[in-house]
């Protein structure tokens, strides 16, 4: 459709209120994911997006006639070594990235040449613009950003559909031998003491997160990539999400042995889907009982009782996900360069592993989620 004049106004609004009624309406009618939820982005910008040379860059698009909010792009400017980068507001915590807009608004916007030019102008200057973690089938953000065709990431996301009953889901998703193994592990665990599974209420949330922090520290230290939960600003972020979202947007599950938390899983609720974002388990205390797998089995049971339709294990190729019937879905990344230095870094990111490593050392870029 040809537009004789611009239909949209584009601006930078770094004080944009993600808790506003207009953003809630836009989000509810959008193609966005749980990781663009009002609470998520409000907390992310307040707790995480103002440290280490990170600056807000929130692009807001409104209809010229009436001023109705049509699209929001939550971005940040980050200095990575010598490179000036423009990135989605991810800050290592979001698994899926997407613009906040409806499909119809997006189609209309990409046909508005003046609005697209203004958006691209406001993004400058940058050496490298990169938006990874795009789900398969997501809107063509590259058309809006005038970027080359998206490239496949070297990791997948995993999700499994749930059924009306736990017994039906378990029979279809889990191998029969694995069902027997988990039943055996549960009996072993129950012989050790009183085992209880709960979805945490507000008074217990922070204490449970503290236990998760204790369990995750040694595990990720041994892997060499650290654990975000050990950092005060990230602990504050996850605590904020768990507390403010309790009962609606977030759930924190816990498994207790004689009253002590031995396993926990934090996740988000969105469109009848539970998205796992973090787990922690007392591996040292229960090496032989597979408490991680038992925990995810109970999470699936509770989700089915709540009428959820999908259990999403999100991004990462950990083998346990397939044991629960989760199927891989490809993830995509968009890269646009804005200078010779950015072209060099962009080329390296797409080439041989040793070049990727060199580029990450130079630019501080990570292609895989670091939170685990």
Q: What is the pLDDT of residue 53?
A: 76
Q: What is the pLDDT of residue 294?
A: 98
What integer is the mean pLDDT of 102-114?
Answer: 96
Nearest to 299 by CA among 227, 200, 211: 200
Confidence of residue 3 (pLDDT cuts 50, 70, 90): very low
Q: Which two three-digit tokens encode residue 191?
A: 């012989």
Give the DSSP letter string of 121-158. Answer: HHH-S-SEEEEEEEETT---HHHHHT-PPPEEEEEEEE
What integer is the mean pLDDT of 321-348?
Answer: 87
**What is the tens place of the pLDDT at every residue in 248-264?**
999 999 999 999 999 99
Nearest to 242 by CA among 199, 291, 298, 302: 199
Q: Which two three-digit tokens encode residue 87?
A: 């990135």
Q: Supply the DSSP symbol for 194.
A: -
The percentage of residues in the chain with a pLDDT greater than 70, rounded to a whole number, is 88
Q: What is the pLDDT of residue 81?
A: 87
Q: Which two three-digit tokens encode residue 40?
A: 């998520």
What integer is the mean pLDDT of 126-149?
Answer: 95
Taking 80 as the threshold, does the pLDDT of residue 245 lie above it? yes
Query: Under 8 Å CB-to-CB from 3, ≥6 apart: which residues?
Result: 111, 112, 113
Taking 70 as the threshold, does the pLDDT of residue 357 lie above it? no
Confidence of residue 6 (pLDDT cuts 50, 70, 90): confident
Nearest to 162 by CA among 323, 318, 312: 312
The pTM (predicted TM-score) of the whole model is: 0.90
Q: What is the pLDDT of residue 350?
A: 62
Nearest to 98 by CA among 160, 62, 150, 159: 150
Helix (H) or strand (E) holding 66: none
**How far is 249 from 298, CA to CA, in rounded Å?**
19
Q: Please, what are the domains in the chain?
A: 8-153+331-363 (3.40.630.30), 163-308 (3.40.630.30)
Q: Supply the DSSP symbol for 44.
A: H
Confidence of residue 371 (pLDDT cuts 50, 70, 90): very low
Q: What is the pLDDT of residue 365?
A: 45
The full 3-state SS of 197-218, as one line of letters, equals EEECCHHHHHHHHHHHHHHHHH
Query: Under 8 Å CB-to-CB from 272, ≥6 apart: which residues?
Result: 307, 308, 309, 310
The percentage of residues in the chain with a pLDDT greater than 90, rounded to a whole number, is 83
Taking 80 as the threshold, does the pLDDT of residue 51 lie above it? no
**What is the tens place of the pLDDT at every residue in 147-203?**
999 999 999 999 999 999 999 999 999 999 999 999 999 999 999 999 999 999 999
Nearest to 92 by CA among 127, 52, 60: 52
**What is the tens place of the pLDDT at every residue in 272-320?**
999 999 999 999 999 899 999 999 999 999 999 999 999 999 999 999 9
Q: What is the pLDDT of residue 366?
A: 41
Contacts 24+ apart (CB under 8 A), 174-178: 174/323, 174/324, 174/325, 175/323, 178/323
What integer is the mean pLDDT of 12-20?
Answer: 98
Nearest to 11 by CA among 86, 122, 106, 85: 122
**What is the tens place of the pLDDT at every residue in 65-89?**
999 999 999 999 999 888 999 999 9
Q: What is the pLDDT of residue 331?
A: 98
**How far is 370 from 372, CA to CA, in rounded Å?**
6
Taking 60 as the threshold, does the pLDDT of residue 91 lie above it? yes
Confidence of residue 222 (pLDDT cuts 50, 70, 90): low
Taking 50 as the threshold, does the pLDDT of residue 368 lie above it? no
CA–CA distances in Å: residue 338 to residues 76, 142, 169, 281, 335: 16, 15, 49, 44, 10
Query: Under 8 Å CB-to-CB from 80, ≥6 apart: which residues?
Result: 363, 364, 365
């Amino acid at each position: 459709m040809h537009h004789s004049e611009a239909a949209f106004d584009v601006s930078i609004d770094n004080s944009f209120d993600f808790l506003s009624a207009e953003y809630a309406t836009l989000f509810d009618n959008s193609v966005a994911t749980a990781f663009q939820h009002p609470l998520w982005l409000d907390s992310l910008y307040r707790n995480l997006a103002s440290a280490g040379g990170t600056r807000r860059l929130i692009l807001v698009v409104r209809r010229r006639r009436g001023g109705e909010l049509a699209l929001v792009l939550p971005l940040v400017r980050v200095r990575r070594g010598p490179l000036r980068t423009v990135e989605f507001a991810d800050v290592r915590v979001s698994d899926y990235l997407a613009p906040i807009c409806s499909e119809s608004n997006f189609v209309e916007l990409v046909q508005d040449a003046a609005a697209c030019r203004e958006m691209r102008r406001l993004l400058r200057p940058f050496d490298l613009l990169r938006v990874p973690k795009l789900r398969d089938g997501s809107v063509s953000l590259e058309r809006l950003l005038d970027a080359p065709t998206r490239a496949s990431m070297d990791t997948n996301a995993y999700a499994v559909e749930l059924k009306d009953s736990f017994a039906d889901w378990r029979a279809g998703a889990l191998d029969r031998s694995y069902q027997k193994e988990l039943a055996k592990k549960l009996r072993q665990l129950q012989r050790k003491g009183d085992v209880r599974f709960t979805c945490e209420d507000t008074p217990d949330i922070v204490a449970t997160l503290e236990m998760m922090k204790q369990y995750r520290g040694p595990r990720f230290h041994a892997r060499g990539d650290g654990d975000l939960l050990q950092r005060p600003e990230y602990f504050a972020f996850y605590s904020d999400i768990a507390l403010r979202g309790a009962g609606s947007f977030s759930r924190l599950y816990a498994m207790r042995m004689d009253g002590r938390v031995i396993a926990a899983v934090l996740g988000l609720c969105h469109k009848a889907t539970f998205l796992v974002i973090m787990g922690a388990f007392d591996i040292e205390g229960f090496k032989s009982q597979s408490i991680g797998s038992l925990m995810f089995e109970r999470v699936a049971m509770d989700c089915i009782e709540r009428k959820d339709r999908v259990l999403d294990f999100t991004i990462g190729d950990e083998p346990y996900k397939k044991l629960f019937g989760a199927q891989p879905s490809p993830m995509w990344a968009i890269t646009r360069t804005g200078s010779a230095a950015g072209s060099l870094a962009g080329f390296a990111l797409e080439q041989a592993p040793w070049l990727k490593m060199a580029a990450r050392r130079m630019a501080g870029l990570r292609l895989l989620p670091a939170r685990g």
